[in-house]
A and B are shown apart, each in its own frame.
Chain A
Amino acid sequence: MTGTGRITAALPFPVAARRQLADGQLRDNLRRATRTIRDRRARTVAQVPDWEALRAAGTAIKDDVLGRLPELLEQFEAAAGAAGAQVHWARDAAEACAVVTDLVRATGADEVVKVKSMATQEIGLNEALAAAGISAVETDLAELIVQLAGDTPSHILVPAIHYNRRQIRDILAAGLPAADAARLTDDPAVLAEVARYRLRQRFLTARVAVCGANFAVAETGSLVVVESEGNGRMCLTLPETLICVVGVEKVVPTFTDLEVFLQLLPASATGERMNPYTSVWTGVRPGDGPRSVHVVLLDNGRSDTLADRVGRQALRCIRCSACLNVCPVYEQVGGHAYGSTYPGPIGAILSPQLTGPDGGANRTLPYASTLCGACYDVCPVRINIPEVLVHLRQVGVDARRDRPSPERAALRAMSWVMRDRRRYRAALRAARRGAAPLRRVGGRRGGVRRLPWPLSAWTTARDAPLPPGQTFGEWWAGRNPEAHR
């Protein structure tokens, strides 16, 4: 079953990217923020002597999980059930939203507090709850800022990365009485205090909390949330009802496996050896925490992704976003250009796989990369993102084999020419001769300033090089005449 929800790009990537590029402020904000996190990650990882061994272990555990997912999920369901939690299964975004909405309705509540969660963003839960008359309050600071701005997150870990603190001040000020707004500065501590004040009452009165999970332990039925602000801890402990939406690939076999991931995740995500809050809870226990715990296990295209031998490695992802922070493309355009809850390099391989071949503009995402490989170098679970990008390009090309395209025609012709040395030599000679008039007119430093469409895409930003009067092969043949008959 293919995935639905907020994982489909509305516009082709090149179009969406061009719009984002026009925003100079956005590029400044992104450049500053991604470099800060990128450098911090590099410093922290350099301090971990067994980093490569940890990466290998994380990769092996995740591959083991993907190899026996049904068995582990059933084990999780049984363990969580025995601990007093109720497990629900959702095939796609609509099913997951319906399950959560019904659970909230059954409590009679018309407001939920939320812990930042990619899965609930993916399924568009806030919008679904709003349609049912239930308001969802995001309690992560950056997620709250994005929600107050009526915007969508642009980064997996830092949802408001596209704003600077002056812009954040204005967003928060808009929700305050005029007198308070006038006094609000852009000091981060002051801004955090405004959010804290806003949220504290919500935590104390909320009857239902909705969260995701970084890990779900099959052996014990435990759920794990890794966070920095303490808002998650509040949501997990104060409300009577807890609803947790978890992608099926988040399951890990044993509690001991967390040892690996609780080192890999904070180092890769925020560049910290240890994150401030790690909450682990298992079902319902007397006298503490929620009275009622529900876990919604979400497929939404993951089973289809699992069926792809090369592409399935994307399901190893632990949502650290290290790949976003090192990506030179993401740094220029930001997360909104990818049109999905999952932006950046991981989004470019995850979104099109979750939505499958009918994902519309998602098929442009595998081309949103120069294949520079910076993402693969930093991935804590060694997802070979360039390999998957090329694989998905190939899947797309193969699926449209019978449809005519200028690109296919050109590449087929080139392949035909290049598989024979005589045709190849003749083509080089023709290209060299064809360039001769250009060399005479335009050849400043041997380059051309303007070319007609479609090569104008090159010359908008750069001169095009021109072949000189002799190919290498011709030079060699002249030098070693005996070798070339």
Chain B
Amino acid sequence: MRIALFVTCVNDLVFPGTGRAVVRLLERLGHRVDFPPEQTCCGQMHANSGYRAEALPLVRGFVAAFDRYDVVVAPSGSCVAMVRDGYPRLAEGDPALHAAVTALAPRTLELSELLVDVLGATDVGATFPHRVAYHPTCHGLRMLRLGDRPRRLLASVRGLDLVELAEPEQCCGFGGTFALKNSAVSGAMLADKCADAVASGAEYLAAADNSCLAHIGGGLARRPGAPRPIHYAEILAGPEEDR
């Protein structure tokens, strides 16, 4: 099985540790991971902001980079949802591209889908002796229907005490450009999410999307004693030895 890592542009630049964690984790489980160097960005920000014409070249780029792989894995529910839910719609009107994306979309998986559904692993052999709350980010929750996969993976980590948020499914208020265009409303939603995270008593707030985590983490950083944001791939992968 040829597994390609789609690291996503946000992780590539701002959260490379998450990409390294995915590589470390999959290699530990005995799989080879490829990083196709042609990859850039999925175009979600363009598409969701209404810039279809600007998103389309990025759709084509994604297909060119990943078409030859059996499975594409990304540590981002939101970017995978863009490919699976958004690409077929964006490609309407270009039959060849549409055929390519509808073939590639089902093979593009969020990390927990690859681990649980394809590799059949819920215990990945990790240890993380901390209290962790999991925030199911909206696109993973409602577009990919990740369900309890990430929680099952976390619950199998040795030493990890998984606690629940009071309202886990409430959006954190990020919403891409929403956080800038409607920053006041976004900030109010963030305040609720941060209060929930603090009240959970967790040391870490885990999620499957670093974009949402950057938003929540940016709010938590201003609250003393708040949990630290962490991508759940980094918990599953364990600490980096060579750094």
Which residues of A pack against B, CB within 8 Å? 13-14, 17-18, 21, 27, 328-329, 332-333, 367-374, 376-377, 387, 390, 392-398, 407-408, 411-412, 414-415, 418-421, 424, 428, 431-432, 444-445, 447, 454-455, 457-458, 460-468, 470-473, 475-477, 480, 483-484
Contact = CB atoms under 8 A, between A and B. Distances in A.
Residue of A328, A412, A420 with most partner-chain B CB within 10 A:
A328
A21 B48 contact: no
Given A408-B51, A445-B221, A368 B182 contact: yes
Contacts of B156: none
Given A17-B184, A393-B49, 10 more contacts: A333-B185, A370-B174, A393-B48, A394-B51, A397-B50, A397-B51, A421-B37, A467-B14, A468-B16, A471-B13
Residue of B55, B184, B222 with most partner-chain A CB within 10 A:
B184
Nearest to A394: B50
A332 B188 contact: yes
Given A372-B171, A418-B40, A367 B178 contact: yes
Contact of A461 (B45, B142, B181, B187): B187
Contacts of B48: 371, 390, 393
Interface string B21-54: 0000000000000010111110101111111101
A21 B188 contact: yes
B34 to A, nearest CB: 8
A461 B186 contact: yes
A145 B182 CA distance: 31
Contacts of A460: 183, 187
Contact of B179 (A396, A457, A473): A457
Contacts of A415: 43, 46, 51, 54-55, 57-58
Interface residues of B, number: 68
A227 B20 CA distance: 58
Contact of A475 (B20, B37, B46, B61): B20
A307 B143 CA distance: 27
Given A390-B48, A418-B40, A464-B218, A373 B89 contact: no
B46 A414 contact: yes
A332 B171 CA distance: 12
B139 A458 contact: no
B222 A393 contact: no
Interface of B: 7, 9, 11-17, 19-20, 35, 37-41, 43, 45-52, 54-55, 57-58, 60-61, 89, 138-139, 141-143, 169-171, 173-191, 214-215, 217-219, 221-222, 228
Residue of B61, B139, B186 with most partner-chain A CB within 10 A:
B186
30 contacts: A14-B183, A328-B170, A329-B189, A368-B185, A369-B178, A370-B138, A370-B186, A370-B189, A371-B48, A371-B139, A371-B178, A372-B142, A373-B139, A373-B142, A392-B50, A394-B51, A411-B51, A414-B46, A415-B51, A419-B58, A421-B40, A424-B9, A428-B12, A447-B217, A460-B187, A461-B183, A462-B219, A465-B15, A465-B217, A477-B37
A472 B170 contact: no
Contacts of B39: 421
The 4 closest A-B pairs by CB, nearest first: A370-B175, A462-B218, A393-B50, A461-B187
B55 to A, nearest CB: 7
A467 B14 CA distance: 4
Contact of A457 (B11, B37, B180, B228): B180
Contacts of A368: 182, 185
A458 B190 CA distance: 12
Contacts of A370: 138, 171, 173-176, 178, 186, 189
Contact of A463 (B13, B45, B222): B222
Contacts of A374: 138, 142, 169, 171
Contacts of A27: 188
A371 B212 CA distance: 13
B14 A421 contact: no
B189 A428 contact: no
B22 to A, nearest CB: 10
B179 to A, nearest CB: 6
A21 B184 contact: yes
Contacts of B215: 462
A367 B182 contact: yes
Nearest to A330: B185
A13 B182 contact: yes
Contacts of B181: 14, 367, 457
A394 B15 CA distance: 30
A370 B216 CA distance: 14
A461 B9 CA distance: 24
A460 B55 CA distance: 29
A370 B48 CA distance: 10
A27 B191 CA distance: 13
